[in-house]
Structure 1
Amino acid sequence: MKQIKKLFTDQVSSVNEYEREPVPESEVKGFKSFVGMVSGEHIAGTEFVIGPLFVLHGASAIDVVFGLLLGNILATLSWVLVCAPAAVKVRTTIFYQLERISGKGIVTLYNSINGLLFCVAAAAMVGVSASAVGIMLNIEGPGMTDLYPTSPVWVGIIFAIGAVIAIVATFGFDKVSKFANIFAPWMPLIFFSAGLAMLPTLGVHSLSDFWTVAQEKIWTGVPAAGQTKYTFWHILIFSWLCNSAMHLGLADMSIYRYAKKSYYGIASAFGMFIGHFMAWIASGILCAVAVQAGNANPSPGHIAFMGAGYAGLICVIIAGWTTANPTIYRSGLAVQGLLPNMKRWKITLWVGLVTTILACSPAIIAKLDQFLGIYALCAAPIGAIVMTDIFVFPKLNLISNLAEETKKFINWSVGLSWAVSILGSFAVYKYFEFDFYFFAAIPGWLIGIFSYIIFAKAQQRNLIIEKQKVEEYEVH
């Protein structure tokens, strides 16, 4: 046992993830690495949760199809035009880059929030995988709207799955990427075939039948009891911004800093249009079948098993793993910023433990859409601030990485901009009486850009004058 422990610690300790320095050119990865990772992450167990949400919230068929189409195009463009270029430009994690800009004080708060939010997101994946294992072992697990665990055995399943995911994440980006590449080609086939196989149950016997059945039995436009109604705008905004913390919020700088070219952000299209388009539609079909059969509160495992048998259950388990792995990896990087002297693999294991404990509450899955919306409101303004500092400040002759340049503990222009952005987006949410936090994410992102420029100009006025004097003196 001691030898195994030593072998494990030696291997994970030898992994260098460049947490506090740019990724060297020798370590950048090819396009294939990102296709596998984003496909594995976004063709996830949560697709068996989100697809059914559109059914239960009474979205219409035309709103689902066109909302998902446009929303996923916007999401892909957000990675291509914002996140990947920023990551390739500086080749650092969002956490270290923010520290250089904002100082230790603000990045400590951000990393704490972000680390916890990543744990919650990963916990949802663990819970989804557990629902499939429970069916395999004939153990009743919670449904998608339950708030409490159903049995100690189910909690034990959660801990077993959490342990596997945490251990994979400790080996760093390379192993997480390879793990995803193994399963990414197989999972979409399960989603597609499961949805296709269930269509005859709803009355689809030819291609011409599909649209009529889709309108009358799947996305009927009538929400289930106790659920709010989703419109075209809900679908578009959700599909664009459910991952806004990753693209506009720049959390995926941690991933794309390894990209050889910035256009590798287009790899996100594989996750968006296979995972967030095809898989959401397929899982919506499965949910409609379950509801028609009298199960008003199906679990992700039940939906998958109904459509594809044990292959569907295995797909749910693996899909949960391939999404939770990079999420825990990101969370470990966030906490690393708080504890720079602690080894990353030890932090990742602790993060895995916190994730596993959170996963024991089914409420993580039941409130997933609300959680993602709150996450977007907190993270998007920081992405706007970092993006502005990287690309806009040099054009405005403002000082980038101010905290690093001046050794500031807190860059107050960052702190004020973040606070104003969150308060501003929340005010927009309240004033327009939105029923969906995501609607306020874009105003928050835009407020972050403009407020940061205004505050930074006020803060740097004297610094820039002094810098110009020094430069003039050196010239003469």
Structure 2
Amino acid sequence: MEEFEREPVAPAALKPGRYFAASYAGEHVAGTEFVIGAMFVSWGVGAGDVIAGLLVGNLLAVLSWVLICAPIATETRLTLYAYLEKIAGPGFIKIYSVINGILFCILAGAMITVSASAVRILFGIPPQVEWYPTSMTFVLIALGVGAVVSFAAMRGFSFVARFSEVAAPWMIAMFFVGGAALLPVILAGTPSVSSIGSYGDFLNLAETSIWIDQGTDMGFWHVVAIAWGANLAFHGGLGDMSILRFARRSSYAWYSSLGMFIGHFAAWLAAGIMGAGAAMILQQPLTSMDAGEVAFQALGPIGILAVIVAGWTTSNPTIYRSGLAFQSLHPAWSRERVTLVVGVITTIIACFPFVFTRLLDFLGIMALVMAPIGGLIFAEHFLFKKLGLTRYWRIATGAALNTPALLTWIASVGVAALLGYQFGVHVLFLFVPAWLTALLLYPLLASAMGAKAVDASQLAASEQAENNRRKAEEAFLDSHAKPQLASSNTNRLFLIGASLSLLVAIALGISALTSGDLARFQSLIIWPTVTYFVFAILLVRREAAAEG
């Protein structure tokens, strides 16, 4: 399985847009949505701030993928780790890859915990809301879920993308119907709102019984920061170079809008509705419930499957990224074996739900650590030539460590940390000054420490080789533009079957919204789910076989 860990992706291995549509929709309509969407409810953020903040923050996230990450990924065709080693040296990458890989392990572990939180319902295990496990059976469940996820990540990018291609449409439908099914419960518990006939009625219900403004410090800008910064490690921090290097066109980064506006907007709102409805049904505070309990109250037994699949669609690509990070430490290491080791470590972490319980704090810290790397890479890739500096100057000096890059990373994190500890800036906002500090500081330090003195002609041969590679890639794409796969009658049948199954599921959700019959909805939603997965798996398998 060629994953091009150390060299540019070959033109023949580049993927069509549907891979990225499925990957972004699958990864970001996932387990974290049950967690973060419900957090806005428990934090007491007002409905207007939640809706407006998510719109603005998710737009900024999409633009970060489109304007920062994708151009660098498709121009270099390298992983973040291979490109960072080219810029900052093998000494730097050994430090960064270890830190980066550990962070990805912890994040993936949280998603495995989310999946395990659903399975534990089948065994009558109480919700795992402490930082440590309170049940040995839960530990065994987490180990089993982690084994499945690790196997998928070992198979490589194509397998991860195909998994998302199957799961994503159904996950989107489940968030929609789950929220719709519990709206009548919330409406029945809100005497001041008799019905929902307009957006104004919905907003009134939301402000009264879902996202209730409790006068906390959390507001519009905090929601913007969460939506923008939750995936900062992937877009502004360039972690998704590992994914987008396979994109035939830089414009495929616009597919991230599927993940952001379906996942981090619609699904977060739906998760908030489900969380508020579940709290009303059980007469318990939302903070005492995990994602599995919330989904089970909304969707019944299918809610358990929804959370399991949701955790998988996030943890699969995250373990894949972590495997690439650790594999970059030694070129001779097999990516598959490294990913297996990473999967074992991640699964052990998943047995301790500490990240699950403090997910947004962890995401804020992760963004803070990785943001400066994105800023300094952006500076060298786009700004150095304009500033009269030599790009990839470290190679000409033969240094194993780019000292200005290391100092920039340390200083940028230090500036952000100072703003947090000394001036009380919330951790969710700190990635912005960290990224900007690196963008401005790195060219200054590099200029003072050798980037201006290096003769660019020393790198002329490698620059010419890179230009030739890009021209060859463009010529290949022009001459081998892959036409749409011929759609056989069998493929059409599978597509129609999968589409009709989703339409039936959505119709059941609308029926539950109008009738309020939650029990009937939960018993019937099982059947379109089964038929959808049968048709979708068969369709994706045939398409994969046709592509070779």
The residue aligned with 1:437 is 427
Report the CA distance shift for 1:46/1:406 in structure 2 as closer, same or farther (over 3 A): same
Counterpart pick for 2:266 among 278, 283, 290: 278
Residues 127 and 289, structure 2, Cα contact 8 Å, conserved in 1 = no
Matched, 1:199 2:191: no
Counterpart pick for 1:236 among 214, 224, 227: 224
The residue aligned with 1:349 is 340
Residues 396 and 458, structure 2, Cα contact 8 Å, conserved in 1 = no
Amino acid at match of 1:207: G
Counterpart pick for 1:418 among 409, 415, 432: 409
| C-alpha separation in 1, matches of 2:392 and 2:433 | 25
The residue aligned with 1:163 is 147
3-state SS in 2 of match to 1:370: helix
Instruction: Give the TM-score normalised by the residue count of structure 1.
Output: 0.91
**Structure 1 unaligned spans of 5+:** 1-14, 472-476
Report the CA distance shift for 1:189/1:469 in structure 2 as closer, same or farther (over 3 A): closer
Matched, 1:320 2:311: yes
Deviations 1:66-112 (A, max 9, x none): 00011101100000111011100101001010111111111111100
The residue aligned with 1:94 is 80
**Structure 2 unaligned spans of 5+:** 188-192, 461-548
Amino acid at match of 1:272: M
Instruction: Tell me the CA shift for residue 339 of structure 1.
Output: 2.7
Q: Which structure 2 residues correspond to residues 51-70 of structure 1 after superposition, within 5 A?
A: 51-70=37-56
Instruction: Tell me the CA shift for residue 160 of structure 1.
Output: 0.3
| C-alpha separation in 2, matches of 1:469 and 1:332 | 34
Report the CA distance shift for 1:115/1:342 in structure 2 as closer, same or farther (over 3 A): same
Amino acid at match of 1:216: T
The residue aligned with 2:208 is 216
Residues 131 and 301, structure 1, Cα contact 8 Å, conserved in 2 = yes
Structure number with greater CO (CA < 8 Å, separation at least 6) is 1
| C-alpha separation in 2, matches of 1:153 and 1:133 | 10
CA RMSD of aligned residues (A): 1.6
Instruction: Tell me the CA shift for residue 462 of structure 1.
Output: 6.3
The residue aligned with 1:255 is 243
Matched, 1:363 2:354: yes
Instruction: Tell me the CA shift for residue 467 of structure 1.
Output: 5.0
3-state SS in 1 of match to 2:9: coil
The residue aligned with 2:170 is 186
| C-alpha separation in 2, matches of 1:98 and 1:469 | 20
Amino acid at match of 1:420: A
Aligned residues: 449
Instruction: Tell me the CA shift for residue 468 of structure 1.
Output: 6.9
3-state SS in 1 of match to 2:49: helix
Instruction: Tell me the CA shift for residue 469 of structure 1.
Output: 10
Instruction: Tell me the CA shift for residue 140 of structure 1.
Output: 2.5
Instruction: Give the TM-score normalised by the residue count of structure 2.
Output: 0.80
Deviations 1:261-292 (A, max 9, x none): 11111010000011100111111111112333
Matched, 1:294 2:289: no
Report the CA distance shift for 1:218/1:229 in structure 2 as closer, same or farther (over 3 A): farther
Report the CA distance shift for 1:284/1:408 in structure 2 as closer, same or farther (over 3 A): same
Instruction: Tell me the CA shift for residue 393 of structure 1.
Output: 1.3
3-state SS in 2 of match to 1:239: helix
Report the CA distance shift for 1:439/1:462 in structure 2 as closer, same or farther (over 3 A): closer
| C-alpha separation in 2, matches of 1:393 and 1:25 | 27
Q: Percent identity?
A: 43
| C-alpha separation in 2, matches of 1:333 and 1:375 | 17
Amino acid at match of 1:370: D
| C-alpha separation in 2, matches of 1:188 and 1:393 | 42
Instruction: Tell me the CA shift for residue 461 of structure 1.
Output: 5.5
| C-alpha separation in 1, matches of 2:458 and 2:10 | 35
